[in-house]
Amino acid sequence: MPTSDHLVALLCGSFLHPAKEAPVPIQNHKQALMGVARAVKQRDPQLEQEARRELAAAVLANHIEKVLADAPELSPQQVRTLSGLLRGRSA
């Protein structure tokens, strides 16, 4: 039986670098994963889409936190560029 860690890796595989070990899911990942499971069980496509969006955001937030913890401080221009990417526009 796959663990919740395996399920997060399967559902979010496109967000994880395959050559590296998947980060340990934080509580937000597990909550978001359970939201996806509930939405699938209820067969509600709109709820499932929102739950998958929440899961993707949790994975992305965890990755950003991990990268920023290991990196030197970003310049103001780098922060603007990355903020633009998150807002869906080129900086």
In angstroms, the CA 46 to CA 60 distance is 21
pTM check: above 0.75: no
Name the 3-class secondary structure at 26. coil
Burial class (CB in 10 A: 0-12, 13-18, 19+), 55: buried
Residue-range domain boundaries for the chain: 4-87
Q: What is the mean pLDDT of residues 38-45?
A: 92
Q: Is the pLDDT of residue 34 over 80?
A: yes
Please give, one letter per residue, the 3-state secondary structure of 28-65: HHHHHHHHHHHHHHHCCHHHHHHHHHHHHHHHHHHHHH
In angstroms, the CA 87 to CA 36 distance is 24
**Over the stretch 75-88, which tens digit does the pLDDT of each residue have?**
999 999 989 988 88
pLDDT value at residue 42: 93
pLDDT value at residue 7: 43
